[in-house]
Amino acid sequence: MSTTRGADLRESLKAVGLRVTRPRVAVLGAVEDQPHADTESLIGAVRRELPAVSHQAVYDVLRALTTAGLVRRIQPSGSVARYESRVGDNHHHVVCSSCGAIADVDCAVGEGPCLDASETHGFVIDEAEVTYWGICPACSESPVAPTS
C-alpha cells in the first residue's frame, strides 16, 4: 500500500472518530480495492497484508466501518452480504441473475431518494434502495444459456 493511500485511509478513520489500527486500515483498503466484495474475499485480501488477522476481527472491523458510515453493506436477495466504500450518495445496483456480478447504478431521476413512496406512514424517508436484475455482458456472451 502506498504511503499516501495509507495516510488517506488513516485520515478517513480519524475523521469519523475511529481509532486507527492496522486491521481497520487493511479492511478499509480492501473494500476500496474490491467494490461489492463478500466477507470471505475481504478476509483473503486482508490476510495478504496481515496474515494473522482472524475472521472475527474482519467481521468486527466491517461492522465498525459500516456503523461509522465509511462502508456500505448491501445484500441483494439470495446473496451474501457485500461491502462497498461508495457512501454518501443514494446510488443503486444492478445484479446479474446468472453469476451474481454487481455494478453501481446512479439514480435515474432527480435528487435522492430517487423515488417517492406512495405512502410514508409517518416516516421521514431519506433513502430508496433499488436493485435491478438482469444478465451481465459476460453471461450474455456465454454459449450456455443462463437458467432462470
Q: Strand 37-38 relative to strand 82-84: parallel, antiparallel, unpaired? A: antiparallel
What b/e readout covers 102-139, taking b as 16+ CB neighbours within 10 angstroms?
beeeebeeeeeebbeeeeeeeeeeeeeeeeeeebbeeb
Please list the helix, strand and coil fractions of the chain in percent, rounded to the nearest 5, in that order: 35, 15, 50
CATH topology of domain 3-74: Arc Repressor Mutant, subunit A (1.10.10)
**What pTM, to 2 d.p., does this model score?**
0.83
Tens digit of each residue's pLDDT (9 = 90 or more) over 44-102: 999 999 999 999 999 999 999 999 999 999 999 888 999 999 998 878 899 999 999 99
Q: Where are the domains of the chain?
A: 3-74, 89-148
- Stronger pLDDT, 127 or 31, i.e. the higher one: 31
Tell me, what's the pLDDT at 148? 53
Q: Could you confirm whether domain 89-148 is CATH 3.30.1490.190?
A: yes
Domains 3-74 and 89-148 share a fold: no
Interval 17-36 mean pLDDT: 96
Tell me, what's the pLDDT at 22? 96
Interval 100-126 mean pLDDT: 80
Q: For residue 113, what pLDDT band results from cuts at 50, 70 and 90?
A: low
